[in-house]
C-alpha cells in the first residue's frame, strides 16, 4: 500500500508551497488579518495557474485536476490562513455545480470568468432559524413572469461582500412539498436591488469575512435558476463529498501550522535554564499534536483517493471532516498552552490559528 504522492503530485505540492511563501507569506497574512482585508491580487495570481477552478474540467477553463490534487492545494494554501482556500473553494464548488447542472448559456456566461478570477461564488444556505437542519430554510422564491421574487435572509455567507461575487442561493419554491423536495438554487447577483449585505463581527475569519445577506423582494431572472425547479437539494448532496474533503484539507493546513509553530517556540523558549521543549510534559503534548495531524491527513487523503476512484465515499469523507475538525480544535488549543501568555499576543500566529 502506497502512502506517498506520485512524482507529479509531489511537484505540485512543492509548487503550491513556493507560491504561498512568495505571495501569501506569514507577515502578509498577519497584515491582512489585522486590516480585515482579502488579498484579491493573490487570487488573481492563483488564477493564472488555473487554481481558481482546480477541479473544473479543462473544457470550461479549469485545471481539470483530481480530488487528491485539490486536497494538496487546499492544505498547502492554508499554511498561514484558511481564508484564501475557503474563498477559492467556495468558488470551485459553485463552478462545479454549474458545470454539472447548468445550461449551456450558464456555463458560457460564468465558467470562463471563474477560471480567470473575474467571478467568485458564495454559498447561501444557512439561515437564522435553519443551521444544521438546512432543509428547513424559509427563504421563498416565487415565480413572477420571467423572474423569481426572492425574500428571506442568509447567515454566514463567506466572501459575499467581495467584488464580483455571486451567491449560490437556496430558496423554497414549493412550500407544499416535503422540505428536501421544494428547494431550488439560484445564481444571484449581489448588486441586484433589494440585496443587503452586512458583514458580521466574528471571532475569526477576519480576512475572508462572513456576512448576513438580506433579500427583500429581489427579482432574479428565471434563467439564473440552476437545474430543475425543486431539485436544489440534489445539487447540495452531489457536492457534499468534495466539500467535506476540502474542509478537512483546510483544517489540516491549520493543524500542521499550529504544531509547527509550537515546536519552534518550545525549542527556543527557555525556562529554568533550558528550553521548554526538553520538559517531558511539553514533549508529550507536542507528540500528541503531531500524531493527530498525521492521523487526520491519512483519513483525508484516503477519502480523496476514494472519490477519485469513483466511490461514493460518504463514510470516508464524513470521517475525514469530523476528525480533521476536532484535530484542528485540539491542536490549536494545545498550541495556545505551549506558547502560554505569548499565545494571546497578536504578533504570534497561534491566536489566529486558534480562532
pLDDT in tens, 155-212: 999 999 999 999 999 999 999 999 899 999 999 999 999 999 999 999 999 999 999 9
What pLDDT, on a 0 to 100 scale, did the predictor assign at position 57?
87
Whether residue 220 is predicted with pLDDT greater than 80 in this model: the reply is yes
Buried/exposed code over 94-110 (b: 16+ C-beta within 10 A; e: otherwise): bbbbbbebbeeebbebb
Whether residue 325 is predicted with pLDDT greater than 80 in this model: the reply is yes
Rounded percentage of the chain residues whose pLDDT exceeds 90:
90
Alpha carbon separation from 5 to 51, 70, 300 (Å, rounded): 19, 13, 13
Average pLDDT over residues 274-298: 97
Give dist(CA 247, CA 82) in Å, integer: 9
* Positions of CATH 2.40.110.10 in the chain: 121-232
* Positions of CATH 1.10.540.10 in the chain: 7-118
Q: 131 or 353: whose pLDDT is higher?
A: 353
* Positions of CATH 1.20.140.10 in the chain: 239-354
Cα atoms in the 13 Å half-sphere on the side-chain side of 275: 10
Give dist(CA 41, CA 66) in Å, integer: 25
Alpha carbon separation from 277 to 267, 269, 327, 330, 353 (Å, rounded): 5, 8, 21, 19, 21
Residue 156: phi and psi, rounded to 5, are 60, 45
Cα atoms in the 13 Å half-sphere on the side-chain side of 346: 8
For 120, the enclosing helix (H) or strand (E) is strand 120-124
For 154, the enclosing helix (H) or strand (E) is strand 147-154
Give dist(CA 172, CA 176) in Å, integer: 10
Compute the residue count for the chain.
355
Confidence class for position 259, pLDDT limits 50, 70, 90: very high
What pLDDT, on a 0 to 100 scale, did the predictor assign at position 1?
66
Tell the CATH topology of 7-118: Butyryl-Coa Dehydrogenase, subunit A; domain 1 (1.10.540)
pLDDT in tens, 96-136: 999 999 999 999 999 999 988 999 999 999 999 988 888 89
Give dist(CA 55, CA 67) in Å, integer: 7
Q: Over the chain, what is the mean pLDDT?
A: 95
Average pLDDT over residues 58-69: 91
CATH superfamily of the domain spanning 121-232: Butyryl-CoA Dehydrogenase, subunit A, domain 2 (2.40.110.10)
199 secondary structure, DSSP code: E
Average pLDDT over residues 230-252: 91
Residue 90 DSSP SS3: helix
Return the CATH number of the domain spanning residue range 239-354: 1.20.140.10
Amino acid at each position: 500500500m502506497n502512502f506517498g504522492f506520485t512524482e507529479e503530485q509531489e511537484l505540485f505540492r512543492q509548487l503550491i508551497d513556493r507560491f504561498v511563501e512568495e505571495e501569501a507569506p506569514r507577515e502578509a497574512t498577519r497584515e491582512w488579518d489585522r486590516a480585515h482585508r482579502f488579498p484579491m491580487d493573490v487570487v488573481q495570481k492563483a488564477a493564472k495557474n488555473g487554481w481558481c477552478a482546480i477541479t473544473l474540467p479543462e473544457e470550461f477553463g479549469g485545471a481539470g485536476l483530481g480530488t487528491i490534487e485539490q486536497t494538496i492545494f487546499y492544505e498547502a494554501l492554508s499554511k498561514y490562513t484558511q481564508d484564501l482556500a475557503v474563498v477559492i473553494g467556495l468558488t470551485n464548488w459553485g463552478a462545479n455545480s454549474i458545470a454539472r447542472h447548468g445550461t449551456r448559456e450558464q456555463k458560457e456566461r460564468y465558467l470562463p470568468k471563474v477560471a480567470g478570477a473575474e467571478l467568485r461564488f458564495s454559498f447561501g444556505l444557512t439561515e437564522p432559524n435553519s443551521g444544521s437542519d438546512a432543509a428547513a430554510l424559509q427563504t421563498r422564491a416565487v415565480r413572477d413572469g420571467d423572474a423569481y421574487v426572492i425574500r428571506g435572509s442568509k447567515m454566514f455567507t463567506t466572501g459575499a461582500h467581495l467584488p464580483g461575487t455571486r451567491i449560490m442561493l437556496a430558496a423554497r419554491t414549493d412550500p407544499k412539498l416535503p422540505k428536501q423536495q421544494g428547494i431550488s438554487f439560484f445564481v444571484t447577483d449581489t448588486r441586484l436591488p433589494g440585496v443587503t449585505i452586512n458583514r458580521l463581527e466574528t471571532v475569526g475569519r477576519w480576512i475572508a469575512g462572513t456576512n448576513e445577506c438580506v433579500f427583500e423582494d429581489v427579482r432574479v431572472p428565471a434563467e439564473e435558476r440552476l437545474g430543475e425547479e425543486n431539485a436544489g437539494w440534489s445539487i447540495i448532496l452531489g457536492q457534499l463529498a468534495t466539500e467535506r474533503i476540502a474542509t478537512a484539507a483546510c483544517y489540516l493546513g491549520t493543524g500542521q501550522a499550529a504544531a509547527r509553530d509550537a515546536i519552534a517556540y518550545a525549542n527556543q523558549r527557555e525556562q529554568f535554564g533550558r528550553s521548554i521543549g526538553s520538559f517531558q510534559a511539553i514533549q508529550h503534548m507536542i507528540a500528541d499534536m503531531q500524531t493527530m495531524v498525521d492521523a487526520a491527513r491519512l483519513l483525508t487523503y484516503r477519502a480523496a483517493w476514494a472519490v477519485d476512484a469513483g466511490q461514493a465515499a460518504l463514510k470516508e469523507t464524513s470521517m475525514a471532516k469530523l476528525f480533521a475538525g476536532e484535530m484542528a480544535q485540539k491542536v490549536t488549543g494545545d498550541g495556545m498552552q505551549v506558547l502560554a501568555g505569548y499565545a494571546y499576543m497578536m504578533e504570534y500566529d497561534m491566536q489566529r490559528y486558534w480562532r
